[in-house]
Each structure stands twice: as C-alpha cells, then as structure tokens.
Amino acid sequence: MAQLFFRYGTMNSGKSLQLLAVKHNYEEKGGRVLLLTSALDDRAGVGIVKTRLGIKSEAIAIKSEDNVLDIITDHKYYDKGKLDCDCVLVDEAEFLTPDQIEQLWSVVVHCDTPVICYGLKTDFTGHLFDGSKRLLELADKIEEIKTVCEKCDRKATMNLRTVDGKAVYEGDQVQIGDSEYHAVCSYHHVNWEE
C-alpha cells in the first residue's frame, strides 16, 4: 500500500539532492517518476529542481491556484483512471497550499502511488509553513534530513535569515533566497553574532 512521506530539513541539508537521488534510483531500474515543484522557487528557473552541487532536473511547476489532481490527470502517465508511474516526488512542498497537500494525499489513497514530499518544516521565525503543517498532519511517514549548525557542531534545527550579515526575525514568511539563509541550532538562531 502506498504512503505519503514528508522528508524535511533546514536550508542546506541536501533535500533536493536526496530527491534527485531517489528519482535517479527509480529511473535507473526503469521506473517512471512524476516530479513536481513549487512555482515560487525560481532560483534556478521556474520548474527546475537544482541542487547546490549543480545537479538539476525539469519538473512540473505548481502555482498556488493550481489543482494538483488536474495536473496529474492531464499528465501522460495518467490513463483511464490510473496513474502509471512508480512515484510522485515533490520539491519545496512547504510552499504548496493545504488543499494541494490534500490532493497529493488523494493520489496516494486513490491511485495507490507513493508521494514523497521534500521541504522545510518551519520558516526563519520558527513557524510552520502551511504546506508543511498539513503534511505533518497527513503524512504516513515523517523523516528528518539532518545537517549541522553553521556556527557549531550541534544539529541544525532552525533556518536563520540575515541581511548584511545581521539576523532578521521579522518580515514576509516567503522570500526566496539562498545565501541569506543559514542552517543553525536554536542557540545560534538567537545568538547569531556570537
């Protein structure tokens, strides 16, 4: 029986790298994978999943107004009420709406196809993203992708945003970026300058 997975980690924890490795492993064995990502993440271009190592793959970009079920049923892997693929992989799942997460859950339940979502659990203030919250509520399996704090050897559990090297604790929840975000432990989230 298929399951919904949520694999989360901080910035720089290798989420996209793991996702593309899973995709490669399925395809290496002749499997079919449907790759989705949030259209909000345009760092490498809309509809591109790219790792910091430079490995990348095209994906279907999901906008906040999209119905994921419509996108899946319009795809070449969908035929006569069946999804003919081995796995659905989703990058930047935190940016999806709760309704879109429920639609992915429906794919698991009604198409018996595993869906593996990768993303951040919380924002730079420590609050859950809406998509992540719904994943935590619905996922059959929740797995943490671990990395270490940029300032010490403790486990990184928080995402810190900086502007001109100074920690920022207020602002819009979604601001796409890269080098201004840091994976840190709780202590260094509060004490970045130390």
> Which residues participate in the annotated binding site for ATP?
9-16
Which residues participate in the annotated binding site? 9-16, 149, 152, 174-177, 181, 185, 188
* Residues 6+ away with beta carbon under 8 Å from 156: 10, 12, 13, 146, 147, 148, 149, 150, 183, 184, 185
Which residues participate in the annotated binding site for Zn(2+)? 149, 152, 185, 188
Q: How far, in Å, CA of 112 to CA of 93, rounded? A: 20
Q: How far, in Å, CA of 41 to CA of 175, rounded? A: 9
Q: How far, in Å, CA of 107 to CA of 48, rounded? A: 22
Q: How far, in Å, CA of 38 to CA of 95, rounded? A: 6
Which residue in the list 92, 94, 150, 170 is annotated as catalytic?
Answer: 92
**Residue 132, SS3 per DSSP:** helix
Q: What secondary structure letter does DSSP report for 50?
A: E
Please report, as a single letter, which amino acid is at residue 62.
Answer: I
> Would residue 150 show up in a list of annotated catalytic residues for this protein?
no
Q: How far, in Å, CA of 106 to CA of 68, rounded? A: 10
Which residues are marked as active site?
Answer: 92
